[in-house]
A = this chain, B = another copy of it.
Amino acid sequence: MNKPFTLRALAQHLDAELVGDPDYLIHEIATLQNAAEQSISFVASPAYEKYLADSRAGALILKSELANSFSGNKLIVANPYLAYAHLTRLFDDSLDFYPPGIHPTAIIDERARLGKDVHIGCYAVIAAGVTLGDGVIIGPGSVIGEDTMVGARTRLGPRVTLYHGIVIGSDCIIHSGAVIGADGFGFAPDQKAWVKIHQLGSVIVGDRVEIGANTTIDRGALENTLIGDGVKIDNLVHIGHNVSLGKNTAMAALTGIAGSTIVGDNCTFAGQVGISGHLTITDDVHVTGKSLVNSSLTEAGSYSSCTPIAPTREWRKNAVRFRQLDSMVARIKQLEKAAKEN
């Protein structure tokens, strides 16, 4: 984080109103708490107003309502948190690590088509029929299977696998270890054994999708697994075959969706949520952490399951009672009947 920007440049980048010294140099973004002279920070909530007078930040991003609470340099915007997000891109030096160029150890089938200015890292393997759009970045050790297409400016980290016949949109980010297009989990029972259902569908990923480290998205059985535009998927998530995720849906780590479930747009799933197969989940559904979604959800809103954390000794007593719930209701009914008769 040593490439400084003038406040003028930052204000321009954010389309912000600058109050203060336009030539002031900012070297880093910092939290409000840790911001020093060379830092810019942001005030996302009025709750932090009390800290502003004492802040040592070289500059602050804030709403006009709070502008008078800070006497230093400031960038005034409507949405400081969003402005912070836009600013992080400027300070991300790692974007410079992948200039256009193909490492001599990359193995690229002569039948692959490469766009302009692609970066292909060491020991990457690109199979026949692959198409890479302009500005694509393929990290070291990544493997791209036959006939797979990757849209412009999409970035694969190190050691990503895209199996054959996959389509990835533009401006996606796929982190290290992700596996897209392995076989869906499909078997037909034959006596007690299982006969593999070869998975003949594909995975179609939209634009601006982010896929986390070691996440797996399986290919469809006959039709395709579909990931909508703007979807954000965290690490170690499992997406089963023939799942469809709507636009801008976000899914936190260790969440899993079983086969053929259709999820709407703008949903959020916290960590470790489990979603059964063959369900339909409408738009704008939000599911809290570790919930089991085992029925379709037809109304927007927030959903939960699970039980709350408790000291183990207390939990044990109550957990035993869970298995008596139905009989408890019967006993209450009995009491109610008796009370009525009295």
Interface of A with B (CB < 8 Å)? Answer: 1, 28-31, 34, 79, 81-82, 84-86, 88-89, 91-92, 94, 97, 105, 107, 121-123, 125, 127, 139-141, 143, 145-146, 157-159, 161, 163-165, 173, 175-177, 179, 182-183, 185-190, 192-200, 208, 210, 212-214, 216, 218, 221-223, 230, 232, 234-236, 238, 240, 247-248, 250, 252-254, 256, 258, 265-266, 270-272, 274, 276, 286-295, 297, 301-326, 328-329, 331-332, 335-336, 338-339, 342
Contacts and interface: CB of A to CB of B under 8 A. Distances in A.
A222 B310 contact: no
A263 B202 CA distance: 33
B324 A177 contact: no
Contacts of A125: 121-123, 140-141, 158
B192 A216 contact: no
B309 A303 contact: yes
Contact of A322 (B163, B189, B254, B308): B308
Contact of A302 (B79, B307, B311): B311
Contacts of A250: 187, 194
Count of identical protomers in the assembly: 3
Contact of A185 (B28, B192, B200, B232): B232
Nearest to A28: B200
Given A258-B289, A305-B306, 11 more contacts: A1-B200, A79-B188, A88-B196, A88-B200, A92-B200, A158-B161, A163-B176, A192-B247, A236-B236, A253-B256, A305-B309
* The 10 A-B residue pairs with the shortest CB-CB distance in the complex, in nearest-first order: A88-B198, A85-B188, A321-B325, A92-B198, A302-B312, A182-B213, A304-B315, A238-B253, A143-B158, A179-B213
A235 B216 contact: yes
Contacts of A324: 318, 329
Contacts of A235: 179, 182, 185, 216, 218, 238
